[in-house]
Structure 1
Amino acid sequence: MRPWGILGAMLMAAGVAEAEPAPLAAYMEQARVQPDATVRYGAEPSQVVEVFLPKGRGPHPVVVLLHGGCYRKQFEGLPQTSGIAADLARRGLAVWNVEYRRLGEPGAGYPGTFQDVAAAVDLIRVEAPRHGLDPSRVVTLGHSAGGHLALWAAARHRLPADSPLHRPDPVRIRAVVSLAGIGDLDGQGDVFSRACGADTFPQVLGDPRRLADTSPSELLPTGARVVMVHGAYDHVMPPFTGLEYARKARAAGDAAEVVTLPDAGHFDVVVPTTAAWREVAAIVERAAKADP
Structure 2
Amino acid sequence: MRSLICFVVVISLTACGGGGGGGSSASPSPPPAITPPAGIPNVNPPGATRIAYGADGLQFGDLRIPAASFGPGPYPVAVVVHGGCWTSGVGTLVSSASLADALTKRGIATWNIEYRAIGDAGGGYPGTFHDWSAATDYVRTLAATYPLDLSRVVLVGHSAGAHGALWLAARKRIAAGSELAAVDPLPVKAVVALDGPGELRPSLGYSGLCNNAAERLLGGTPEAVPDRFRQASPSELLPLGVPQYLVSATFLTPGPAARYRDMAVAKGDMVTIIDQSSSGHFEMVTPGRSQELEVENTVVGIVGP
State the structure with bigger RCO (CA 8 A, min sep 6), 1 or 2.
2
CA distance in 2, matches of 1:120, 1:149: 12
Residue aligned with 1:204, SS: helix
CA distance in 1, matches of 2:278, 2:161: 22
Say how many residue pairs are matched. Answer: 273
* Counterpart for residue 44 of structure 1: 56
Q: Cα RMSD (Å) of the superposition? A: 2.3
**Greater Cα offset, 24-33 or 277-286:** 24-33
The two structures have a TM-score, normalised by structure 1, of: 0.87
Q: Deviations over 1:239-261 (max 9, x none)?
A: 22111111111000011111102
Shift of 1:7: 6.0
Unaligned runs of at least 5 residues, structure 1: 12-22
2:218 is aligned with 1:205: yes
* Counterpart for residue 20 of structure 1: none
CA distance in 2, matches of 1:225, 1:7: 25
Q: Deviations over 1:218-239 (max 9, x none)?
A: 11111110011112xx1x3312
CA distance in 2, matches of 1:201, 1:82: 24
Larger helix percent: 1
CA distance in 2, matches of 1:86, 1:150: 18
Contact 1:60-1:134 at 8 Å conserved across structures: yes
Change (3 A) 1:175 1:9: closer
2:208 is aligned with 1:194: yes
* Counterpart for residue 304 of structure 2: 289
**Greater Cα offset, 116-125 or 258-267:** 258-267
- Within the candidate set 109, 115, 118, 2:133 is matched to 118
Q: Deviations over 1:200-233 (max 9, x none)?
A: 12210014320111000111111110011112xx
Residue aligned with 2:37, SS: helix
CA distance in 1, matches of 2:240, 2:112: 22
Change (3 A) 1:143 1:57: same
The two structures have a TM-score, normalised by structure 2, of: 0.83
Residue aligned with 1:246, SS: helix
Unaligned runs of at least 5 residues, structure 2: 16-34
Contact 1:27-1:80 at 8 Å conserved across structures: no
**What is the aligned-residue identity percentage?**
37
Look up the equivalent residue of 1:227 and give its one-letter code.
Y
Change (3 A) 1:27 1:222: farther
